[in-house]
Structure formats: C-alpha cells, structure tokens
Chain A
Amino acid sequence: MKKDRFGWICIACSVLLLAVALILYVVPLEHWRDVLFMVLWLFGPAVAGAVLYQCMENRGRWAQDQILK
C-alpha cells in the first residue's frame, strides 16, 4: 500500500509557517509577548493537528466509508 505522507508534509509546512509568522510579526516588536501568544494561538492548531493526524495515520485509526443506514 502506498505510504501516506500528508501528515508529515503538513507538520513540516505548519512549523515553517509558524517560524515565518514569528519572524515577520514578533521579531520587530519591543513589546512582543501578547503578539507571540496570538501567533501561537493562530498557527499552533495546524502544528498540533498535523501531529495528531500523523499519529492517527500511524495507528491506522481511519475507518473506511462508514455510513449509518
């Protein structure tokens, strides 16, 4: 079966995006704490979601098409 790399790609992209957002919006600031929190709050779910997705993938937690008749 073909290996699904979607989760890994998303982990890489989400970490990269988070880093770019930190550089663009947090680094230039003197009072950066509130903005840092907001960047993490906004870009963090993608990182967490991608890790969770990959964990589910590794454990085979996806059911096939399941419809309640």
Chain B
Amino acid sequence: MNIYGIVTVASLVIYLFIGVCSSRSVKNTDDFYVMGRNAPAPLITGTLIATNISTVAFIGYVGSVYTQGALPYITMFGATLASSIFLGLSMGRYIRRMHLYTVPDFFVKRYPDNESVKLLSTAIVLFTMLVLLISVCQGVTVVLCGTFGISRTAALVISLGTITVFTMCGGMKGVVVTDTIMFVTFFVAAMLVAPYLMKALGGWPLGISRGEAALPYVTSWKGSFSTFDGIWQYLEVNCASVVLVLASPQLLSRAFIAKSEKTLGRAMLLQALLFPIFIFTLLFLFSLLPMVRGDLEPTSAFIWAAMNLASPVVGALALAGITAAALSSASSLFQQAAAALSRDIYERYINPTADEKKKMQVSRICVLLIAVFCFLGSTSQDISALGIVYGFLFATAGWAAWFPPLILGIYWKRATTKAAALSMAFGFLVTIGLVMGRTHGLTPSWLAPNVAGLAVSAAVCVAVSLATSAGEAELAVFETMRREDLT
C-alpha cells in the first residue's frame, strides 16, 4: 500500500476509534438524537461545515469551477453564511425553545393535531434524505474507487461500514465529534494544497494576474455562462443555499443540540469566519488550474492536483481530507435519516408508547436499515458527477416545499395549519414535477425546481393563511416560542 492509502486508512481507523469512544456517554434517546442538548460552539461549527462540504464540493464544484469559473459557484456560500448568521442570531433561538428531535417535530408541534402535516413532513424528510444519501454515497465511491483503484463494492463496504459503526454506537455525538475531526482534516488539507497550486500557477501575485489574462471568464461574475443562464445559476444556487441552511434536516438539526442560544450564535460566527477561507482558497485557485493543465477530467481536478502538484505527504493528507469530506456528510445524513425512521415513523405511528430502552434499540436498528438501503441503492446503479450535484439540488428542492411553513410558522402569528399542509403538498408536487421534467428534458433547464417549489409553497402558505384563521392551539405554541423565561 502506498502513502496515500496508508494515511487514508489511518484516518478511517481514527474516526472509528473516536466514534466508538464517544458512545460511552450515550445513555438515552436525548443523547442519541440530540447529544443531550449540550454541544459547545466549536463542535457545532465543525459539524456544520463538515456536513455542508461533501464530495459535491471537492468533486462537483471543483470540477465545475475548473471549466466554468469560480464566481458563479462561490456566490452560494455567501448565501450560506448570511443564512447561518440569521439562524444563529435569530431563528435558532425559537427552534431551540421547541425542544425538537427532528425537523418534522417542528411541524407536528407548531401545527398541532393535523395528520396531513405529519404525513407530508415525514414523507418529505424520508424521500429527500434517501435520495441525497444515495447521491452522497455514490460520491464516496467515486472518490475511493478513483483514488485507490478498489472496486465499487469494496469502497461501499469500507465507507458505509465505518459510518454505520460510529453512528450506531455514538448517535449524534459520534457523528458530531467525528465530523469535527473530519472538518479539521479537510480544512488543513485544502490549506496545504493551495500553496503548491499557487506555486504551479507562477506564484502570487503573478499567477493570479496571468490567470486573469489567460482565462478572462475567471474574474467574471457569470463565469463562462451566458448572461441569462448566469442569472438563473445565481438564483438557483443561492436559493439552494438558503434552503439548505435554514430547512435541511442535517443542518437545522444542529440548532437542536446547542448548549444554549448564545452557544448557537457563537457557532455560526465561527462558521462565518472559517468557511470563507476554505471556500475562496479552494474554488478560486482551482478555477485557475487550466493554466497548469487544461485537459483534465474536471471531476478529478482536486485529486490530480493533490497527487501531482503537492508533496507526497501533503497529497496523502489531501486525499484523506477528500475522503473525510465525503464521509462527514454521509454520516450526518445517515444520522438524520435513521432519526426520521425511528422518531418520525416508529415512535409516531407504530409504537408511541415505547420505553426508552426499546427506542434506543429501534434507533440503532434504523441506522443499520439505512446502511443496507444505501448499499443496495448505490451498487445497483452508476451515477455521474453531475448526478451527484443533481441529487443535492433535488433534495434542496424538496426542502424548499416546507421552507415557507417553517419560516412563517416561526415569525408570523397568522400562519395556519391548513396553509402549512397545502403549501407543503403543492410545493412538493411542483418540485417533483419540475425535477422529472428537467431530467427528461421536458422543461427548460434554467427553470430551477427549488426556486419554483419555494415560490409556489410561499404563495399558497400566505394566501391560505390569510383566508383562514389560526386556532387557539397554534397561537399558544407561537406565543410560547417567544417566552424568554422558560426553563
């Protein structure tokens, strides 16, 4: 085994060890689902960035900026950070006060006694998480197979096996702690590769000014897109980012685990400080890579740079970093998909009176079930790098359907249960229709499912809320969210 393999295997062993060690403090479902609501700011920051950065960034976005320029892709992370600050300093406090375990819990509590809301939120969470999980697992196999030359099955067994063990043992704590270590790994890796890339470009500032002359689209807001496509690209990716941060189960659930409202605010600030360093360094510099070598397969641009431009040790760290990025997102999705199965289906519909021990058992079995599903879903089909990005965009489109009832449920007293149910249903239907249409070339490629789903859902939610009136139970929950004296 070469140095690349040794460092990656060593990092996998470390993740496993730490994940299993963290399971010692998991005593009940509170620990398993939400880390006992006791997470400090650095861990929340680590897991947020690790969950956000996956193979989509290292393969999808690096490949895209290599051919299309960086700015149309970098823009989405500005929206990510602005939304994170909003979540940390405003929205997160109301979410925390609701004592949630999963995102569908919010809808069940805010819009009480309504079967449609329960069913729709559960359907959306399961459907989107499973689609995204399969696309992220495909990304993991692309990385492991492409880097180490192992078979797809072996790559899946290694990656799913590692994630399953520490998620089953440590629950949310296992995921959060390993995510943070993975974040440090890929952050350091990207920072170490950057100087080598800069050197290959001709050093600073010469490399950047030469890049501007040789590749004019690199410094243009629209990259190599036409103006019309560029505008839609900005709309779609910024919309996806806002929805991802404020409405995706894997990121929003990090607000549930914070030690206090202030801790959540601090975590988001730390994220806003660290994330741009990583993103700008990674994406802007890789958009100049065609000056060094212009005939690469775009999806392998990062791997090529790590193995050919950096020293072997830094290259090995970089490959361990890309594996870490892939695993960290998969583990967070795993944890949330399993929580959706156990909490939103088993505890809500099958056995609402289950005791603590039974719930823990079922939660762990659900992790195993998700692992089997992902294995079968990922081995049975081949997927391109574009498919990985499309899986991500589809999932964000699904969350766009529940975004308006979520935000309006927090900030607007008049948001009603009927409006929430109808907006979710219409938003999700429009989303599914447009995703299918886009996949089969029936709708224009610029018509972004997440933007359309969000617009329809918001319009329905506002219109129906204005036409109906909120009941006492809904108003009571709304008022309770605003009380600062709850202990």
Contact = CB atoms under 8 A, between A and B. Distances in A.
Interface of A: 6, 10, 13-14, 17, 21, 24-25, 27-32, 34-35, 37-39, 41-46, 48-50, 52-53, 56, 62-69
Nearest to A13: B273
A42 B85 CA distance: 12
A64 B89 CA distance: 14
Contacts of B266: 6, 53
Given A17-B277, A21-B280, A29 B212 contact: yes
Interface of B: 37, 71, 74-75, 77-78, 81-82, 84-85, 88-89, 93, 96-99, 109, 204-206, 208-209, 212, 216, 219-221, 259-262, 265-266, 268-270, 272-273, 276-277, 279-280, 284, 477, 480-481, 483-487
A68 B108 CA distance: 14
B208 A25 contact: yes
B221 A38 contact: yes
Given A56-B89, A65-B487, 7 more contacts: A17-B276, A21-B280, A38-B221, A42-B81, A43-B276, A46-B269, A67-B486
A31 B212 contact: yes
Contact of B99 (A50, A63, A69): A69
B93 A46 contact: no
A53 B265 contact: yes
A42 to B, nearest CB: 4
A56 B93 CA distance: 13
B49 to A, nearest CB: 13
15 contacts: A13-B273, A24-B204, A34-B219, A35-B71, A41-B75, A42-B74, A43-B276, A45-B82, A49-B81, A49-B85, A52-B85, A64-B487, A66-B485, A67-B96, A68-B97
A28 B205 contact: yes
Contacts of B277: 17
A63 B480 CA distance: 14
Contact of B208 (A6, A28, A65, A68): A28
Interface of B is mostly: helix
Contacts of A69: 99, 486
A49 B97 contact: no
Given A27-B205, A66-B486, A68-B486, A50 B221 contact: no
A45 B268 CA distance: 10
A38 B280 CA distance: 9
Q: B99, B205, B219, B483 — which one has the most chain A CB atoms within 10 A of its CB? A: B219
Contacts of B205: 27-28
Given A49-B268, A63-B484, A68 B261 contact: no
B273 A63 contact: no
A67 B208 contact: no
A6 to B, nearest CB: 6
A42 B97 contact: no
A29 B212 CA distance: 7
A62 B220 CA distance: 42
